[in-house]
Amino acid sequence: MTKEQYKFLLSEHDLPKQWYNINADMPVPATPVLNPQTKEPITPEFLNVLFPMSLIEQEMSTDRYIDIPEEVREIYKLWRPTPLMRARRLEKALGTPAHIYYKNEGASISGSHKTNTAVAQAYYNKIDGTRSLTTETGAGQWGSALAIACKFFDMHLEVFMVRGSYRDKPYRRIIIQNYDADIYPSPSAKTDYGRKFLAENPESPGSLGIAISEAVETAVKSDGEKKYSLGSVLNHVLLHQTVIGQECLKQMEMADEYPDVVIGCVGGGSNFGGIAFPFLHENIKGGRTTRLVAVEPRATPSLTKGLYAFDYGDTAKMAPILKMFTLGHDFIPAPIHAGGLRYHGMAPQICMLFDAGYIEAVAVPQPDTFEAGVLFAQTEGIIPAPESSHAIRVAIDEALDAKEKGEERVILFNLSGHGLLDLSAYDSYHQGHLIDDSLEVSPEDIKPRLPVVNF
Ligand SMILES: *Cc1c(COP(=O)(O)O)cnc(C)c1O
């Protein structure tokens, strides 16, 4: 290794051949997934209304490694392996002895990590005979990623986009339309649930929970024509994202270092799980002691303020019930710019590990994340997604803490996406127009809205 190396690049040959399944090494028993109508453990037949059998098998699998199909690897090669970068200029600006590394998932064809699972999900749907997919999107990153993937596999796509984002972020809507997907602002008049919600509250900015309900309803009522695709939260989604952490393990080796702390922002938990699980495997099986830190917005503090309970995955109570740290399925978060982090719950795998003490969580206020994102842009040159800036904030805080303690701490964070389509958010930051995202939620607010389930 040369002294001033910045980039740690792998060749296409190093692209992982398998995904890593944390279920094989889960240190605590898995929590059940329940049918939203019966509140009994879910059956593959119920799930098959929404998902193809191959993905349901992955969802339930306890095999440690699952082969990545060659067709998926070929598409991954359009942007993978992504670079691991040493943020030397950020280190200098902070005057820290810490070594800061970041994995640049913003280098993907859609600009975020979400294409890692979009391509896999489109592939499995295609080979299982699905003709058309439905989905929701918050800020539009997931919709863009799935629109590209569906185009590659010649499938139709319908996207329900959270109305606030549809209104404020026209560019992602245009991207989605560029790949021939149909896109509707949610709540929409396309579904029973959307119409009901619009009647109650025509001004609703929408939420991910509502948009999920509309996409699920569309698939359920299609007589098997359409399946539903989710961009985060579920086991198979986190599984597909583990290419990130597996590449990082090789790249940290090239840098001749090993992270003391791995950081990722969490909306539903997929980019964090993707970078963290391969390192957790090293902790559990290899005796390493890397700290794994999930960062959430103060406006949706599910891990840090939510209740660990069974809750619906969506607002209309149509999606499966999952045991999650949740703010309640009808929680509508403040319209912060990190749209991809505005979800009431969290991936059950992340929740189990957080509850058992294997990962840490911290909630950060929106202005602090923009301050961090702008410093990152001014030093490293890349404008980060507002979601990713949550991870940057905590990476910077770790570096400053290391400085105070005089430690050469090795910090790795996931740059889950670039922010070139989030410039209006930066504009409101520069003009001092960020909304107040301080939030008081109490267990008494959340509890009455949870389903009563005895497990
Ligand atoms: C969607 C998104 C997130 C949040 O989703 P996770 O499933 O928690 O990873 C984070 N960053 C970016 C750039 C996103 O697009």
Strand pairing report for 84-86 and 7-8? antiparallel
Is the distance from CB of 148 to CB of 109 less than 8 angstroms? yes
Distances (CA, A) of 452 to 42, 207, 284, 321, 443: 16, 23, 34, 11, 15
Q: What is the DSSP letter of 418?
A: B
Boundary of a domain, candidates 220, 235, 250: 235
Query: Do residues 339 and 228 both lie within one domain?
Result: no
Least reliable range by pLDDT among 35-44, 251-260, 375-384, 446-455: 446-455
For residue 281, the enclosing domain spans: 81-111+239-449
CB of 267 closer than 6 angstroms to any ligand 1 atom:
yes
Mean pLDDT of the chain: 95
**Digit-coded pLDDT (tens) for 61-91:** 999 999 999 999 999 999 999 999 999 999 9
Q: Which residue puts its alpha carbon closest to atom 4 of ligand 1?
A: 267
Strand ranges (E), 327-440: 360-364, 410-415
* Residue 143, domain member (yes or no): yes
Whether the ω angle into residue 185 lies within 30 degrees of 0, i.e. cis, is: no
Query: Do residues 389 and 261 both lie within one domain?
Result: yes
Distance 327 CA to ligand 1 centre (A): 18
**Among residues of the chain, what percentage have pLDDT more than 70?**
99
Distance 270 CA to ligand 1 centre (A): 7
Distance 229 CA to ligand 1 centre (A): 15
CB of 137 closer than 6 angstroms to any ligand 1 atom:
no
Pocket test for ligand 1, best of 234, 265, 337, 390 (most atoms within 8 A of CB): 265
Query: Do residues 148 and 267 both lie within one domain?
Result: no
Looking at the CA of residue 271, tell me the nearest atom of ligand 1: 9
Query: Do residues 125 and 155 both lie within one domain?
Result: yes
Distance 156 CA to ligand 1 centre (A): 23
In 287-343, where does DSSP find H-type helix? 302-305
Query: Do residues 224 and 278 both lie within one domain?
Result: no
* Residue 24, domain member (yes or no): no
**Digit-coded pLDDT (tens) for 125-175:** 999 999 999 999 988 999 999 999 999 999 999 999 999 889 988 899 999
Query: Do residues 375 and 274 both lie within one domain?
Result: yes
Q: Which residue puts its alpha carbon closest to atom 10 of ligand 1?
A: 387
Which whole number is the average pLDDT over 393-415?
98
- What pLDDT score does 234 carry? 96
* Residue 5, domain member (yes or no): no
How many structural domains is the chain composed of? 2
CB of 273 closer than 6 angstroms to any ligand 1 atom:
no
More confident residue, 57 or 437: 57
Distance 251 CA to ligand 1 centre (A): 22
* Residue 390, domain member (yes or no): yes
CB of 232 closer than 6 angstroms to any ligand 1 atom:
yes
Distance 267 CA to ligand 1 centre (A): 6
* Residue 73, domain member (yes or no): no
Is the distance from CB of 320 to CB of 228 less than 8 angstroms? no
Pocket test for ligand 1, best of 271, 392, 421 (most atoms within 8 A of CB): 271
Task: Return the structure tokens found at 300.
Answer: 């949706």
- What pLDDT score does 342 carry? 83
CB of 268 closer than 6 angstroms to any ligand 1 atom:
yes
- What pLDDT score does 140 carry? 93
Task: Return the structure tokens found at 347.
Answer: 């991936």
Query: Do residues 390 and 330 both lie within one domain?
Result: yes
Instruction: Give the confidence band of 2 by pLDDT, cuts at 50, 70, 90.
Output: low
- What is the C-alpha to C-alpha distance for residues 223 and 220, in angstroms, rounded to an integer? 7
Helix axes 53-60, 235-254, angle to 10 degrees: 60
Pocket test for ligand 1, best of 232, 302, 415 (most atoms within 8 A of CB): 232
* Residue 13, domain member (yes or no): no
**Digit-coded pLDDT (tens) for 235-281:** 999 999 999 999 999 999 999 999 999 999 999 999 999 999 999 99
3-class DSSP assignment, residue 157: strand
Boundary of a domain, candidates 235, 250, 278: 235
CB of 387 closer than 6 angstroms to any ligand 1 atom:
yes
* Residue 9, domain member (yes or no): no
Boundary of a domain, candidates 215, 235, 255: 235
Looking at the CA of residue 114, tell me the nearest atom of ligand 1: 15
Indicate whether 17 pLDDT > 90.
yes
Task: Return the structure tokens found at 174.
Answer: 């245009």
- What pLDDT score does 332 carry? 81
Instruction: Give the confidence band of 220 by pLDDT, cuts at 50, 70, 90.
Output: very high
Instruction: Give the confidence band of 448 by pLDDT, cuts at 50, 70, 90.
Output: confident
CATH of residue 374's domain is 3.40.50.1100
What proportions of the chain, in percent to the nearest 5, are helix, strand and coil?
45, 15, 40
**Digit-coded pLDDT (tens) for 24-46:** 999 999 999 999 999 999 999 99
CB of 140 closer than 6 angstroms to any ligand 1 atom:
no
CB of 111 closer than 6 angstroms to any ligand 1 atom:
no
- What pLDDT score does 411 carry? 99
* Cβ-Cβ contacts under 8 Å for 29 (sequence gap 6 or more): none
Per-residue buried b or exposed e for 25-62, using 16+ beta carbons within 10 Å of the residue's own CB: ebeeeebbbbebeeeeebeeebbeebbbebbbebbeee
Instruction: Give the confidence band of 389 by pLDDT, cuts at 50, 70, 90.
Output: very high
* Residue 153, domain member (yes or no): yes
